[in-house]
Amino acid sequence: MRVDTRSWPQTAVGGAGNTSTVVQQGDKVSVHIAHADPIVSAGVAALLGAHSDMQISADGKADVIILDHRSGLEHMRQCANAHHGDQQPRVLIVTQLEREWEVRTAMMAGVHGYLLQNTDPEQLITAVRTLSRGMRYLSSELSRCVADSFTRIGLTSRETDVLQLLAQGQCNKSIARELGIGVGTVKTHVKGLFDKLGATARTHAVVLATRRGLVGDSYLNQPH
């Protein structure tokens, strides 16, 4: 699914991608593959190399760089600390991670495209071409997931912050201190979380949020 920059969540639109390096239609797209999985890297290189408008580059300053989820997030963090004038490649994440929380994290970090490893090969080609033209691309399998993530539950940014700290097992006082708000305000946010998630207790809220992919699964692996 092609996604115009304006339709991408606003917090992700301000990412480090620099559209001044957009490739004009008809030019070759230079692609640097830096995926952590060598088998995925080889497969992606073979697929892209079969198209005359694609050029595999060993240079990290290519038009598009393809990364795994973890490397993609780290790359975006580094880009955020770079000088604004630096030209950065468009970032496409290719991964098996498909939960709401994982997709949202990448989008909020400012990545330009997100693709699942088991997707149709033609989607890979389309994604790279789309990014090279200054647009963003979200795997069609994930479009409904992302829409649900941003609209179905409708957590506020502060409720999301509280939820992450709840998942770490922090008490109301610790959450208040961490976020710089009052304990009473924390209680209000926790109640809002209960209502939106349909939870009856803190543990229940975290379990429900984890199952929906709104937080990591570290909580479920902790002894209770």
pLDDT 10s digits, 92-127: 999 999 877 788 788 888 899 999 999 899 999 999
Alpha carbons 115 and 222: distance in angstroms, whole number: 30
Of residues 1 and 52, more confidence is placed in 52
Letter for the amino acid at 130? T
Give CA separation, 111 vs 27, 35, 192, 203, in Å: 23, 15, 30, 32
Of residues 20 and 100, more confidence is placed in 100
- Residues of the chain above pLDDT 70, percent: 77
Judged against a pLDDT cut of 80, whether residue 224 lies above it is answered with no
Judged against a pLDDT cut of 50, whether residue 81 lies above it is answered with yes
Q: For Cα atoms 139, 10, 186, give the angle at the middle one, nearest 5 degrees.
A: 105
pLDDT of residue 123: 93
What mean pLDDT value characterizes the chain? 81
For residues 197-210, average pLDDT: 88
Report residue 117 CA to chain centroid gap.
15
- Confidence at 60, pLDDT banded by 50, 70, 90: confident
Strand order in the sheet with 90-95: 2-3, 136-138, 113-116, 90-95, 64-67, 29-33, 54-56
- Confidence at 26, pLDDT banded by 50, 70, 90: low
- Residues of the chain above pLDDT 90, percent: 50
Q: Which CATH number fits domain 2-150: 3.40.50.300, 3.40.50.2300, 3.90.25.10, 3.40.190.10?
A: 3.40.50.2300
pLDDT of residue 145: 65
pLDDT of residue 20: 43
Q: Where in the chain is the domain with CATH 1.10.10.10?
A: 153-211
Q: Is the pTM of this model over 0.85?
A: no
Class of domain 153-211: mainly alpha
Q: Where in the chain is the domain with CATH 3.40.50.2300?
A: 2-150
For residue 93, what are the β-bridge partners?
Answer: 67, 114
For residues 161-177, average pLDDT: 93
